[in-house]
Structure formats: structure tokens, C-alpha cells
Amino acid sequence: MPELPEVEITRRGIEPFVLGKTITGVAVRNPNLRRRVPRNFARLVVGRLVKRLVRRGKYLLLECDGGSLIVHLGMSGSLRVIDPQTPPREHDHLDLVFGGTALRLRDPRRFGMVLWSAGDVSRNPLLAKLGVEPLGGRFSPEFLYRATRGRDVGVKQLLMNARVVVGIGNIYANESLFRAGIHPRTRAGRLSFARCERLVAAVRDTLLGYFQQHYYVYDRAALPCRVCGAAIRVARLGQRSSFFCATCQR
């Protein structure tokens, strides 16, 4: 399942291809995602310029004039930057076309979502009640200490509650609690301030550690580019190996 760091990596990967670009077409091959892609989807989005690409929790938001496209990758979704003429394969349910390139959603299990949300996207019911971002400044020891007072649930359950803090799935909750030396069943309300400090640091380290292990190109010779799927190449430049994608890097 794509977790918060994977979604952030996707955001960074697709940003150069969608930011400041106009949606010139859509192809909906299968509208039956977790929520049905609306019938008038093309009418809603074609002609709109993407002004910002932001991540909120595990949602990607393509903010345009008048509203935003909300994309969620669900359990098995991925976005690829492709030539729009590339023949679709099975599970390639939807394309957003930006002139000569397209974003293609593949989602074998179809728990993903592509929705148009008119107006201020932060008020959309999917997003309005989301907690703080674990890599943002608001996720502080003070915040966690306050958020846990009077809470009788286990600290792991609280950490995975998206209304408190977003995007900490099971893997990251387990890893963070291990690093902080806190038993997952510890009552949240009984965490000392010192333990909140350790846990906040552990959550950040765990999430950031993921980014360090998941390079786009370094040490990925012959593996598929995370953006376009082409094989990563390696060349010797001077005495050092250089890794690059010949499609994404011109």
C-alpha cells in the first residue's frame, strides 16, 4: 500500500510534468474506483491549469482555478508520466493528458480515487478532519503531549489515527515506537513529555529514513524509473558512476 513517503515521492516525481500545465484531455477507461469517476469528469477538468500540486496526508491535490483534483492511490495505485499514445495495459484506468504527456493511473485493486472538488479543497469532507502532517512543524512534542491527554487508547492506535496525525500506517507506527522504546500498548494518556519528545523524533526519523532508501536513480541501474518506467542507465563520468533516466533527463 502506498504510504505517506511513497505519495510524497510520487508528488515530487510528477510535479515538473503537471505544475503550470493545462489539462487538455482525459481518458476514463474504468470509472469504477473506490468512488466512481463522475460521468462529466472531462467537462469538469479539461482546460484547467494546475497552479499547485500539494500532498495532504495520502491525498495528492492538483489545485486549479475554481477547484482541485483529488487523487488517492488507495491500496495499489500508481501514477506514471507517459506519452499519451502509449497503449494502456490492464488496470490502467485513467489518464490525465497535459498536451504531449499524460499522467496514467494504474490501480489493480481499484481502491484509488480521482475526484473533482469545486471550491476550497481544504473544506472537502475527505480532508476537513485530517490531523497534522507528521513532517510539518505542527507535529511537535507539545502537540503530541496535548493530543494524548485524557486518551485511554494505546499509543499505537493513537499514532495511526488520521484525525490526530496523518499518514502513519502500521509499518511506520511499529518502527517509530521501536525507535522511541515505547510499548505499542502503552496508554496514550500516560505518556510523559519526555516520551512524547522521543516519539515525535522517532516518527520523523522513520519517515525520513524511507526517503533516503528510495532514491530515484542512485544505485538503480536497469531498474524502472519511478516516474516513467524506463530502465535507469549507468555511465562512468570521471571515476564515478552516474545514474540517470534517459527519458526524464535530457
Tell me the C-alpha distance between 51 and 40, whole Å: 22
Binding track, positions 211-230, relative to Zn ion; x by CB under 5 A: --------------x-xx-x
- Shortest CB 224 distance to Zn ion, Å: 8
State the DSSP string of 96-115. EEETTEEEEEE-TT---EEE
Is 151 an active-site residue?
no
CB-closest chain residue to Zn ion: 225
Which C-beta is closer to Zn ion: that of 80 or that of 156? Answer: 80
Tallying the residues shown for the chain, one arrives at 250
Strands 67-72 and 59-64 turn out to be antiparallel
Of the residues 89, 236, 240, 250, only one is catalytic, namely 240
Strand spans (E) along 33-88 = 50-56, 59-64, 67-72, 78-82
Contact flag: residue 248 with Zn ion (CB under 5 A): yes
- Smaller CB distance to Zn ion: residue 202 or 217? 217
2 is catalytic: yes
Please state the closest distance from residue 148 (CB atom) to Zn ion, in A: 43
Given 48, 58, 106, 226, the catalytic residue: 58
Element containing residue 244 per DSSP (H, E): strand 240-244
Q: Does 247 bind Zn ion (CB under 5 A)?
A: yes
Cβ closest to Zn ion, residue 171 vs residue 230: 230
Q: Residue 229: exposed, middle, or buried by beta-carbon count in 10 A (0-12, 13-18, 19+)? A: middle
Question: Is residue 3 flagged as an active site residue?
Answer: yes
